[in-house]
Amino acid sequence: MNQQNAPNPGPLPLLIKICGITRLEDGLVALEAGADWLGFIRWPRSARYLPLDLLTELIDNLKSRAPRPFEAVGGYVNETRETIEREAAQAGLSRIQLHGDETLSFARALSRPALKALRIRDAGSVRAADDFEGLDLLADAFDPALPGGTGLCYDYAMLRDLTARRRVLIAGGLTAETVGGVIRALRPWGVDVSSGVESAPGVKDPVKVREFINAARQAAKEQ
């Protein structure tokens, strides 16, 4: 059983996650620009999904060529614990991001640290964080058809109290133009982006990646 993280201890250096990595060049650009975590989608219906053998090869190549240390985060939707553990061990995943109906006990039983994704549409969905006490969180936009990676925006201000007391990655519709304002307003633990830095699903735009990370870092310095 893994040791879960404590509630938000106060201002920390901003964590930046670039999600939906499918290509070596995209991961390297993100790391060179200053990303801390890279996300890899493990939901087969996603355009950003890779078969396990290709994912393993990609992460191995990234680790051997990375200009800086990083964590590889696997995003799952209602997958079995056995599958998650097997894939994490084979591919070298550092953390697990849960986007389905997983429970707190399920997350705590994993051998790697887990984040629980909240699909935000109203105050009730924010209060769902209380069901996952002690877990790190990711706040994303609600979409009835997709469990994450929608690129949709929402009222980020609803998260103000949550980011003050919990470690939360803010996701959902962020771009280089909007991320600074969200960081200044909420002072979150971190931010997460996928479609906002892409030229096509699963294909990152290097200019957008660099601009996003630069804007996020600049906003964090102003806190």
Distance CA 135, CA 104 (A): 8
Share of the chain above pLDDT 90, in %: 83
What average pLDDT score do residues 61-90 get?
97
User: Coil, helix or strand for 138?
Assistant: strand
Residues 192-211, mean pLDDT to the nearest whole number: 96
First to last CA, the chain: 35
pLDDT tens digits, one per residue of 95-140: 999 999 999 999 999 999 999 999 888 888 899 999 999 999 999 9
Q: What's the CA gap between 217 and 223, in Å, rounded?
A: 10
Give alpha helix (H) positions in the chain: 24-33, 52-65, 81-91, 104-109, 123-127, 160-165, 179-186, 206-221
Residue 11 pLDDT > 90: no
Instruction: State the residue for tokens 């979409």.
Output: 143
What is the pTM for the complete model shown?
Answer: 0.91
Q: Which residues are catalytic?
A: 19, 140
**In the chain, domain spans:** 15-221
* Strand pairing report for 203-204 and 198-200: antiparallel
**pLDDT per residue over 14-47, tens digit each?**
999 999 999 999 999 999 999 999 999 999 999 9
Domain 15-221, second-level architecture: Alpha-Beta Barrel (3.20)
